[in-house]
Amino acid sequence: MAIDNAAHFSEPDRGILRSLHATKRELLLLRRILWPHREVISALQHEETGCIDESMQIYMRDCYDHVVLIVDLIDNCREMTSSLLDVYLSSISNRLNDIMRVLTIIATIFIPLSFIVGIYGMNFDSENSPWAMPELHWYYGYPLIWAVMISVVLCMLWVFKRNKWL
Question: Mind listing the pLDDT tens digit for each residue in 21-64?
Answer: 999 999 999 999 998 888 888 888 777 666 777 778 888 889 98
Distance of alpha carbon 84 from alpha carbon 97, whole angstroms: 20
Alpha helices for the chain (secondary structure H): 7-10, 14-46, 54-120, 141-162
Output the pLDDT for position 5.
56
Average pLDDT across the chain, whole number:
84
First CA to last CA distance, the chain: 37
CATH class of the region 7-94: mainly alpha
| Domain boundaries along the sequence of the chain | 7-94
User: Is 12:30 a contact under the CB 8 Å cutoff?
Assistant: no
